């Protein structure tokens, strides 16, 4: 197996065997030269290829000019057997030089990336996930579990990807391991994994993009549970074991912020308008979209007097489990409500109140209006009003009473 290096031969080089020049369309002179250098005290010669002007590795920006072929011959053959052996090795070295020259002519440099292909794909995946969001982190954890924490770039192929797809179909949730992933979560995770593959291919980490051979996973429509206006009022008037949980949840219902954004919200994110009023400005954790949303007077009353640092001091994920359920139960709310349902509540109540879908889209930070359109389908009050607009009864014209008859 050949190995790549950018070494500089330390001993005197032999006479050039073949030197072929190729003038590319970009007018850069490219040569592929087969050379030898002495090894083992001059008893043997090692073949290597000399490229000019070389290949620049995009990740390290280092110019690579030499490739050791791993083919050796006798420097001074003493018998016919050694001479025949040298001839066969020269033919092999020349065959490799011809293949490399063909690649150079076609401006394909993937042979330089052979060592790179043995790199750690899992480490690359983690690096990308750390720069993204929690969804990418979850997908990374599932893939690491799937491949037993070991995966090289050269192992990425269609078969491996489809096996990971099958794994996701029956995989447990990351936190609640007793439950399997919902099909919509599976579809989202699979889409994220395919995005990693696309990025790796675009950055020349893998030679081929498997995405063209991978089928997508369709989502199914689901009911986005939310609180009605009356339920929200009832919950606001019900005591909670953790006051910070109550404040954070109600604030999310009035602003549409996700839990991840509530946790990172600081007083510096809440700024005044020039003509009065306040707005929240932050980059959403999930989508990295920048939002600048006005805050209602009631939402400001919830968080109280302005301070410094985090707005919801002491708020923790564990509060959104049993404590949240107990609070909902105390308010006589039997719906299956999670903290994220506060965002659904904001969207549905805004649409119910007559706010345009496009305004709600921008306030929620949705990239596509189709995502926001779901809340329009959830608008119960508008549905109830609309059903009475069609009637089977004849229209009754009011009789005008003539005065004096």
CATH of domain 117-213: 1.10.150
The gap between the terminal CA atoms of the chain, to the nearest Å, is 115
Of the candidates 89, 88, 90, 108, the residue with the CA atom closest to the CA atom of residue 99: 108
Q: What is the mean pLDDT of residues 198-203?
A: 90
Lowest mean pLDDT among 20-29, 191-200, 293-302: 20-29
Confidence of residue 404 (pLDDT cuts 50, 70, 90): low
Instruction: Please report the pLDDT score of residue 60 as a whole number.
Output: 62
Give the residue extent of every domain in the chain. Answer: 3-112, 117-213, 229-387
Quote the pLDDT of residue 398. 65
242 has a pLDDT exceeding 90: yes
Both structure tokens of 157: 């192929």
pLDDT tens digit sequence for 122-177? 999 999 998 887 789 999 999 999 999 999 988 999 999 999 999 999 999 877 78
* pLDDT at site 277: 86
* Dist CA 185 CA 173 (whole Å): 9
Q: Which residues have a Cβ under 8 Å from the Cβ of 120 and sit 6 or more positions away?
A: 151, 152, 153
pTM greater than 0.85 (yes/no): no
Asked if residue 114 has pLDDT above 60, the reply is: no
Of 85-89, 98-102, 306-310, 378-382, which gets the smallest average pLDDT?
378-382
Of residues 131 and 20, the one with the higher pLDDT is 131
Check whether 57 has a pLDDT greater than 60.
yes
Domain at 229-387: CATH code: 1.10.443.10
Model confidence at 255, pLDDT cuts 50, 70, 90, reads very high
Mean pLDDT of 371-378: 68
Quote the DSSP letter at residue 11: S
Residue 252 has pLDDT above 90, yes or no: yes
DSSP state of 402: P
177 vs 321: CA distance, rounded Å: 15
């Amino acid at each position: 197996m050949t190995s790549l290096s950018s070494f500089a031969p330390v001993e005197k080089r032999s006479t050039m065997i073949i030197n072929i020049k190729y003038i590319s369309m970009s007018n850069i002179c490219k040569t592929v030269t087969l050379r030898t250098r002495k090894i083992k005290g001059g008893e043997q010669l090692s073949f290597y290829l000399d490229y000019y002007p070389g290949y620049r590795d995009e990740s390290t920006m280092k110019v690579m000019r030499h490739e050791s072929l791993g083919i050796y011959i006798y420097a001074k053959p003493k018998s016919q057997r050694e001479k025949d052996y040298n001839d066969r090795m020269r033919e092999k070295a020349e065959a490799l030089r011809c293949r490399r020259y063909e690649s150079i002519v076609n401006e394909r440099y993937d042979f330089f990336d052979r060592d790179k292909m043995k790199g750690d794909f899992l480490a690359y995946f983690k690096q990308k996930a750390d720069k993204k969001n929690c969804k990418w982190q979850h997908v990374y954890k599932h893939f690491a579990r799937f491949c037993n924490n070991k995966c090289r770039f050269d192992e990425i192929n269609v078969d491996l990807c489809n096996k990971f797809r099958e794994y996701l179909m029956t995989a447990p949730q990351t936190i609640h391991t007793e439950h399997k992933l919902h099909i919509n979560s599976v579809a989202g995770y699979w889409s994220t994994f395919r995005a990693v593959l696309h990025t790796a291919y675009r950055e020349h980490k893998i030679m081929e993009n498997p995405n063209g051979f991978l089928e997508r996973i369709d989502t199914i429509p689901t009911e986005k549970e939310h609180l009605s206006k009356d339920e929200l009022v009832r919950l606001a008037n019900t005591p909670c074991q953790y006051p910070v949980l109550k404040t954070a949840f109600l604030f999310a219902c009035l602003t549409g912020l996700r839990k991840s954004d509530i946790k990172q919200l600081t007083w510096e994110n809440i700024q005044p308008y020039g003509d009065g009023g306040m707005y929240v400005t932050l980059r959403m954790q999930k989508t990295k979209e920048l939002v600048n949303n006005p805050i209602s007077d009631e939402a400001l009353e919830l968080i109280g007097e302005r301070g410094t640092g985090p707005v919801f001091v002491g708020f923790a994920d564990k509060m959104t489990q049993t404590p949240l359920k107990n609070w909902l139960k105390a308010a006589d709310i039997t719906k299956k409500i999670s903290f994220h349902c506060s965002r659904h509540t904001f969207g549905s109540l805004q649409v119910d109140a007559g706010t345009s879908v496009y305004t709600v889209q921008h306030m929620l930070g949705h990239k596509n209006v189709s995502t926001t359109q779901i809340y329009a389908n959830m608008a119960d009050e508008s549905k109830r009003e609309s059903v009475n607009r069609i009637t089977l009864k004849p229209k009754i014209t009011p009789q005008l009473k003539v005065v004096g008859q």
